[in-house]
Amino acid sequence: MNNTKNVLGTDLKMCCAGTGFQRDGFCQVISEDVGNHSVCAIVTDEFLQMQARLGNDLITPYPAYQFPGLKAGDRWCLCASRWKQAYDVGLAPPVDLEATSEAALGVVSLTMLQEKAI
């Protein structure tokens, strides 16, 4: 599964350099990506703090995984399930629909993503 289309059905755009499961800047989902890193989000402090409380620390850098650590305003390919988890409690960060892979639609609806579109 190498998704090159976004949730709008057009060509997937780059989210930001260094993100994505393959760290190529795209929120494509390949078979090895069991986390479905398909949602291109602009993270907020509320989202980052919520994830940290749940044990998913996205703030601390992890160089071994080429992970720089995130701060509010950064763009990043999030796991669709983590984005939905935040959506369900009103803390989902904004998303770039053109850079969000169609693979996200297996976890969240287009309507949900459109509600938070930039």
- pLDDT tens profile 21-34: 899 999 999 999 99
Class of the CATH-defined domain 1-118: alpha beta
pLDDT(13) > 90: yes
- pLDDT tens profile 65-96: 888 999 999 999 999 999 999 999 999 999 99
Buried b (16+ CB within 10 A) or exposed e, 95-109: bbbbbbbbbbbebbe
Q: How far apart are CA 110 and CA 118, in angstroms?
A: 14
Contact 56, 95 (CB under 8 A): no
Per-domain boundaries in the chain: 1-118
Segments of 29-115 assigned E as strands: 37-42, 75-79
Give the contacts of 113 (CB within 8 A, at least 6 positions apart): 7, 39, 95, 97, 100, 104
pTM, whole model, 2 decimals? 0.93
Q: How far apart are CA 9 and CA 81, in angstroms?
A: 21
- What confidence score (pLDDT) does residue 2 get? 52
